[in-house]
Amino acid sequence: MTTALLSSRPRQARPALPVLGEIALPLGRVHEICGRARHRLALIAAAATTGPVIWIAPRWQPADLNPDGMVALIGPERLILVTPERPIDLLWCMEEALRSGAAALIVADLPDPPGLTPVRRLHLAAEAAPDGPPLGLLLTPGGGGAPGVETRLQMSPAHLPGTSRWQLTRLRARTAPPCSWHVTGRPGRWHLSPFSTLATQPHPKGAPAAHSLSRPWP
């Protein structure tokens, strides 16, 4: 018994979803994405999966996802939109979706970071999925701050004249240090450059401008 408890063998790593460069998110866990470009990063993660994506957002928010803006990242037909009317139902819907295993990715667009107990419940629900562990993403405003998440990433616009560019920062991860990058390129050909080594020179002219990923409710 003592030998088993004190074994020096490394713990088996969880399977992870490759998202951007060295950014890979362990499956069966819940991660947080914050910042003004959080919806874009969530859609980039969705593009790395197959099958349907369950996207949960409050019915009362002033804007919903714009199909014209997301089509370069992911086909809008892959998204199953869930719009609860009560705040309490946002995390309940996510918990049930994770536990069901109905989709490889479940996203919850939240008005505020949840507390530690709800996050722990979401982890347990993801681990209980019957057909392989799904991935959960919590989208939170500002700098985020949900306790107990596996990873916290922040993404914000950092555009230059003639090009689209974003700053991506890993604020928290259980197995990796904090780090920042600039994200450039286009879907399928993203490029990450360490933030500290980038010059602010513009990219070649003619680069496509970023499209809005949200639109006002009718």
**Predicted confidence (pLDDT) per residue in 35-73, tens digit:** 999 999 999 999 999 999 999 999 988 778 888 888 989
- Please count the other Cβ atoms lying within 10 Å of the Cβ belonging to residue 155: 23
Spatial separation of the C-alpha atoms in residues 205 and 184, rounded to whole Å? 14
The rounded mean pLDDT for the chain is 86
Q: Is the distance from CB of 28 to CB of 137 less than 8 angstroms?
A: no
Beta pairing partners, 169: 154, 180
Find all residues with CB under 8 Å of 120, minimum gap 6, and list them: 148
pTM (two decimals): 0.84
DSSP H helices, 74-128, are 88-100, 116-127
Between 76 and 205, the higher pLDDT residue: 76
At the topology level, CATH places domain 15-150 in Rossmann fold (3.40.50)
